[in-house]
Structure 1
Amino acid sequence: MIEPRLKYVPCPGPAAARAPSSGAHRMAFWDWGGAAEPAAAGHVIVCVHGLSRQGRDFDTLARALAGQARVICPDVAGRGHSDWLADPAGYQIPQYAADMVALLAQLHAESPIHTLDWVGTSMGGLIGLVLAGQAGLPLPAPVRRLVLNDVGPALEPQALQRIGQYLGVAAHYSSPEQAADALWKDSQGFGPHTPKQWLQLSRPMLRPVPQGGFVLHYDPAIAVPFRAVTPQLAAAGEQLLWQLYDQVTARVLLLRGAQSDLLSPQTAQAMQQRGPRARLVQFDGVGHAPTLVDPAQVAVVQRFLLGEGGAGEP
């Protein structure tokens, strides 16, 4: 079975920071290797996870894509194997987007990128939207195809409130199995999974602690800026995200759990009618967000990225 390599990229702190210790950090990423076909070696697919998740969420999808592209799955700052930020205020989309620019520059220096695709679940989709919606960013190639997994410019307040109830809450687990059971209580929107599938998704969510047992893999402080968002800030952020969406030139595939509480039917419809006019695919029996483990979900993404003209098609 194909396994990825864990690598790191140095990332700068906020542009306003002057001291090296005030924000510089390392971001971890999982590299699934180059494409089997030499002609596709410059095709990179970046897969970015949701708010409290990590890069191993994409193992199933990455294995399906890795033979035809270089698949990269970052652990966003504060999650997984990445550094925790000294200032929790940095746990926001602008810093994450800057980290991805640094990642792409390192990848391009290693092996030139001629085709760049993006798969983003929830927060990862918003990061992709920021990159794809700004033509002046120093990307090695423009984002060609963008998969937004159950996310759009408008986020439903009740879903954000639900997420805020468990985000950053400290917990200790005696075993991965106990942790998986606990995590399922907050994750039933992901839709049906076999016990084996759910345990595989849950194991990378944990890190062992010296006193024994496990805690969640992320810095609890990622909840600080999340909980500081006021209705006014949310409204301003939504307006900016719609502006960015309207500027996207990539082809867009919008995935939605039919029972999603984060991406409303109204927002999904608007995304089909404006800007890049996303193609919508909905999955029944799933809320927020599809995990891209089910073969039917994987096939939809695989066809969009690889099966409609291949990596050479603009």
Structure 2
Amino acid sequence: MNSYASSGTSQPRLDFVSCLSPAGLHRMAYWEWGDPDNDQVLLCVHGLTRTGRDFDALARRMAGRYRVVCPDVVGRGRSDWLANPAYYAMPQYIADMMPLLARLQPRILHWFGTSMGGLIGMALAGLQASPIDKLVLNDVGPRLEWEALTRIGQYLGKAPAFRSFEEAKAYVRTVSASFGDHTEDQWSELTRNVVRQADGPEGSWTMHYDPAIAQSFQTLDPAMAIAAEAALWQVYDSIACPILVVRGERSDLLSEDTVEQMLIRNPRARRADIPGVGHAPTFMTPYQLDIAEDFLCRS
């Protein structure tokens, strides 16, 4: 294990890459762990309202083996907000990964995607000559249950302000209850990853994403979801690398039936189930981290 091996006190480096949308240029932030010269890259991409810091525990575990890179998708975390919110959609998120990959120049690329991050990875892995060598789809697949999308839409895009960090933490625990049981310290970490404090010692706390990310999401209807599902199945079927499909036992977004279809339709896929968790497993516990490490490093 090299000098960049993981440790409980290690912290990531922050950098930015320039990306292009039809509205102009924007910067995408990314958090980087491990040896910057390592050409074995683990790229971890977060869910819809989360940030790259969600992968701190996974990155610490893997930093001795990989250069671990965790972007803040545009409109989230330290990344810029788009001048035109109409482009907060999958085509832009996918396109933004290309300048990042061009900078990283991985010889081996493993992708860990939670929810939205899994959809981005699925789209890239389904391309001809895709650079992705292994793919983890964390509680996401080609079919997304409409009831879960409706649930997410109930809080997405709202911009609540909190008088204290503890109040913000209570809110995050409520909207993220499906993450399952976590310690107080873990809930604090999950909250710090997605809130920021206004200037001043008594500044209010707000969510760390552009509320406008909800605009394209809220135009989705069942007919559009069905059409998108058909396209996603085509993409999924064409993925040629090993796939680990992770499902939270209580997930309302990724159904048991969808996972079974994924295993049948792509022989390179295998599954892992996380008991006591809904959408989506956070990979902060040793048990969950062992599952990821076993697939990425020893399969």
Confirm or deny a common fold (TM above 0.5): yes
How far off its partner does 1:178 sit? 1.5
Which residue of structure 2 aligns with residue 29 of structure 1? 30
How far off its partner does 1:230 sit? 2.1
Q: Is the 8 A contact 2:57 2:283 kept in 1?
A: yes
Which residue of structure 1 aligns with residue 288 of structure 2? 297
Q: Is the 8 A contact 1:206 1:214 kept in 2?
A: yes
1:4 corresponds to 2:5: no
Which letter does structure 1 place at the counterpart of 2:91?
P
Q: Is the 8 A contact 1:145 1:305 kept in 2?
A: yes
Which letter does structure 2 place at the counterpart of 1:218?
Y
Q: Is the 8 A contact 2:241 2:268 kept in 1?
A: no
1:215 corresponds to 2:206: yes
How far off its partner does 1:294 sit? 1.2
How far off its partner does 1:136 sit? 5.1
Which residue of structure 2 aligns with residue 312 of structure 1? none
Which letter does structure 2 place at the counterpart of 1:4?
P
Q: Is the 8 A contact 1:152 1:267 kept in 2?
A: yes
Which residue of structure 2 aligns with residue 48 of structure 1? 45
Query: 2: distance between equivalents of 1:277 and 1:261?
Result: 24
Q: Is the 8 A contact 1:43 1:115 kept in 2?
A: yes
| Equivalent of 2:259 in 244, 262, 268 | 268
Q: Secondary structure at the match of 2:133?
A: strand
How far off its partner does 1:170 sit? 1.4
Which letter does structure 2 place at the counterpart of 1:80?
G
1:87 corresponds to 2:80: no
Which letter does structure 2 place at the counterpart of 1:286?
V
Which residue of structure 2 aligns with residue 67 of structure 1? 64
How far off its partner does 1:206 sit? 0.9
Q: State how 1:185-264 maps to structure 2 within 5 Å.
A: 185-210=174-199, 212-264=203-255
Which letter does structure 2 place at the counterpart of 1:3?
Q
List gaps (5 residues or longer) in structure 2: 1-8
Which residue of structure 2 aligns with residue 116 of structure 1? 109
Which residue of structure 1 aligns with residue 170 of structure 2? 181
**Identity value in percent:** 52
Q: Is the 8 A contact 2:240 2:268 kept in 1?
A: no
1:127 corresponds to 2:120: yes
Q: Is the 8 A contact 1:23 1:87 kept in 2?
A: no
Q: Secondary structure at the match of 2:193?
A: helix
Runs of 4+ in 1 over 4 A off after TM superposition: none
Which residue of structure 2 aligns with residue 311 of structure 1? none
Q: Secondary structure at the match of 2:44?
A: strand
Query: 1: distance between equivalents of 2:237 and 2:298?
Result: 26
Q: Is the 8 A contact 1:271 1:277 kept in 2?
A: no
How far off its partner does 1:83 sit? 0.3
Q: Secondary structure at the match of 1:143?
A: coil
Deviations 1:133-182 (A, max 9, x none): 01156xxxx21110000000000000000000001111111222211111
Deviations 1:104-140 (A, max 9, x none): 00112xxxx2100000000000000010001156xxx
Q: Secondary structure at the match of 2:75?
A: coil
The TM-score, its normalising length taken from structure 2, stands at 0.94
Q: Is the 8 A contact 1:250 1:276 kept in 2?
A: no
Q: Is the 8 A contact 2:31 2:52 kept in 1?
A: yes
How far off its partner does 1:94 sit? 0.9
Which residue of structure 1 aligns with residue 3 of structure 2? none
How far off its partner does 1:2 sit? 1.2
Which residue of structure 2 aligns with residue 284 of structure 1? 275
Query: 2: distance between equivalents of 1:276 and 1:145?
Result: 14
Which letter does structure 1 place at the counterpart of 2:78?
H
